[in-house]
Amino acid sequence: MIRKILVVDDDVAVREALAQTLELADLDAITAGSFVAAKDHITPEFDGVILSDMRMPGRDGFHLLNYTKDVDEELPVILLTGEGDIPMAVQAMGEGAFGFLEKPCAAVDLLPVLERALKTRGLVLENRTLKQQLETGDPAARMLFGTSPQSEELRQRVRRFAPTGAEVLVTGAPGSGISKVAEVIHLMSPTGQGPFVKRPAASTNATEFAQFCTDAVGGSLFIDEVSALPEATQYAALELIEQGPNTRIIAGTTVDLADLVRRGMFNADLFYRLDVMRVRIPALAERPEDIPVIFRHYVAQAAEQAGIEMPEVTPEHLAALMAQDWPGNARSLMSAAMRFVLGMPEDVAEASEMGLAEQLARVERSLLIAALGRQNGKASDTAKALKLPRKTFYDKLARYGIRPEDYRR
């Protein structure tokens, strides 16, 4: 979440007072006493907004605005003006300033403007990331969306495993996109130019499985929900795989195959043959920060399919989405996007009708779970990463009924 403010003012007392106001509002303040000192922070990648005084020795706020627009036209600049600077500030607004405020500026006037600018900057950076992913020639970046560390780890594992040509076991919760990950692995495989044959495991007999392998020669065979393979077919599949056909085998499952093996419900030799390399897809509940970018992608996709203009997705709507648990993962988020595009009543209305405290609590719970997942369930490391005192962190875990051990891999 973007919370960074670059404060530029040559008056030390004013600069420090603004920084204190921002820190009390849980914003990260970066201070600079001049344009020259601020210049290094002004880049297309800057994940924040700029708050600058208009009148400064040397190069003033107007110069800073023009420089910023040359670097990144969409980086918000808010100007602080004295009474005599208002005509100049109005001119600056016409040339792209996000807003201007008169000095001295009370927190009640300043903070709402900054929050709007931060939301705008967040949307810009998310849209850029999505566009880059769509335009890249890398299938992992183009097809597996998300900006969270978990999503990046998923892409890195796919990039590392796909070129090997070895068997891959893709695991994840229902609706998490197992078949899509399997397709990306195929596209990045040595056999990526060959056919991608996708077949459900349920009710597949040995003869059919052999035919599927033949159909996929020179390409990849994806066995969807491999746990459902009938017992006789499991033996046949193992025999065929060990013969080394010119076919890459990718298996997907939403259940714990190792547990099925322990219970005698899945062929152990087949499991170990398939589990050469494993790719786990994190659930949306583990990475709520990915929900906005994924939802916007699905909205754009749904609007194109429906042949209508893409509707605006407000920050309030995204916040309500992030407050949901999404047990159906990407599949249910895709359905929500289609309903949103078609103007149908949405489940997030329930979240929108909640009180602010309840909405914030649900988002906080999701963020705690996501942080635990990133730290492999290590509570002390998670508290440190979140910059929370240990007691505060454990109090929050107790309040939401979260057990760190549930997020150890």
Q: What is the CATH number of the domain that holds 68?
A: 3.40.50.2300
75 and 47 in one domain? yes
354 and 397 in one domain? yes
291 and 243 in one domain? no
User: Is the pLDDT assigned to residue 361 strictly greater than 50?
Assistant: yes
Buried b (16+ CB within 10 A) or exposed e, 293-305: bbbbbbbbebbee
Give per-residue pLDDT as tens, 114-130: 988 888 888 788 777 76
Give me the CATH number covering residue 160.
3.40.50.300
State the helix-helix crossing angle for 356-374 and 315-322, rounded to 10 degrees. 60
| pLDDT grade for 353, boundaries at 50, 70 and 90 | low
Q: Is the peptide bond before 104 cis (omega within 30 degrees of 0)?
A: yes
Average pLDDT over residues 360-376: 75
Spatial neighbors of 115 by CB under 8 A, at least 6 apart, are: none
Q: Residues 355, 359, 362, CA angle at the centre, nearest 5°?
A: 140
Provide the percentage of residues in the chain whose pLDDT is more than 90.
33
Average pLDDT over residues 190-194: 88
290 and 274 in one domain? no
User: Is the pLDDT assigned to residue 262 strictly greater than 50?
Assistant: yes
pLDDT (0 to 100) of residue 89: 65
Of the candidates 98, 112, 99, 79, the residue with the CA atom closest to the CA atom of residue 9 = 79
Spatial neighbors of 271 by CB under 8 A, at least 6 apart, are: 257, 258, 260, 261
392 and 260 in one domain? no
105 and 160 in one domain? no
Buried b (16+ CB within 10 A) or exposed e, 126-165: beeebeebeeeebbbbebbbbbbbbbeebbebbbebbeee
User: Is the pLDDT assigned to residue 347 strictly greater than 70?
Assistant: no
pLDDT (0 to 100) of residue 144: 85
User: Is the pLDDT assigned to residue 141 strictly greater than 50?
Assistant: yes
By residue range, what is the domain housing residue 335? 285-407
264 and 163 in one domain? yes
pTM of the predicted model as reported, rounded to 2 decimal places: 0.60
Of the listed ranges 260-269, 344-353, 382-391, the least confidently predicted one is 344-353
Of the candidates 288, 293, 2, 298, the residue with the CA atom closest to the CA atom of residue 128 = 293
361 and 295 in one domain? yes
176 and 251 in one domain? yes
Instruction: Specify the DSSP class assigned to residue 234.
Output: H
Average pLDDT over residues 354-367: 66
Give per-residue pLDDT as tens, 376-392: 888 888 888 888 888 88
Give per-residue pLDDT as tens, 12-21: 998 899 999 9
pLDDT (0 to 100) of residue 311: 85
Rounded to an integer, what distance in angstroms lies between the CA atom of residue 229 and that of residue 234?
Answer: 6
pLDDT (0 to 100) of residue 358: 65
Of the listed ranges 297-311, 354-368, 372-386, the least confidently predicted one is 354-368
20 and 42 in one domain? yes
321 and 400 in one domain? yes
- Alpha-carbon distances of 33 from 25, 59, 262, rounded to whole Å: 22, 11, 66
Total domain count, the chain: 3
pLDDT (0 to 100) of residue 350: 47
Which of the listed residues 79, 103, 131 is the one where a domain comes to its end?
Answer: 131
User: Is the pLDDT assigned to residue 354 strictly greater than 60?
Assistant: no
Provide the percentage of residues in the chain whose pLDDT is more than 70.
91
Rounded to an integer, what distance in angstroms lies between the CA atom of residue 122 and that of residue 124?
Answer: 5
Which of the listed residues 82, 102, 131 is the one where a domain comes to its end?
Answer: 131
Spatial neighbors of 343 by CB under 8 A, at least 6 apart, are: 311
pLDDT (0 to 100) of residue 352: 46
pLDDT (0 to 100) of residue 169: 97
pLDDT (0 to 100) of residue 82: 74
Average pLDDT along the chain:
85
Average pLDDT over residues 168-176: 94
Higher pLDDT, 217 or 357: 217
Give per-residue pLDDT as tens, 228-259: 999 999 998 999 888 887 899 999 999 999 99
pLDDT (0 to 100) of residue 356: 55
Which of the listed residues 238, 259, 282 is the one where a domain comes to its end?
Answer: 282
The backbone torsions φ and ψ at residue 130, rounded to the nearest 5 degrees and listed phi first, read -65, -45
180 and 54 in one domain? no
Q: Residues 91, 94, 96, CA angle at the centre, nearest 5°?
A: 115
Average pLDDT over residues 262-287: 93
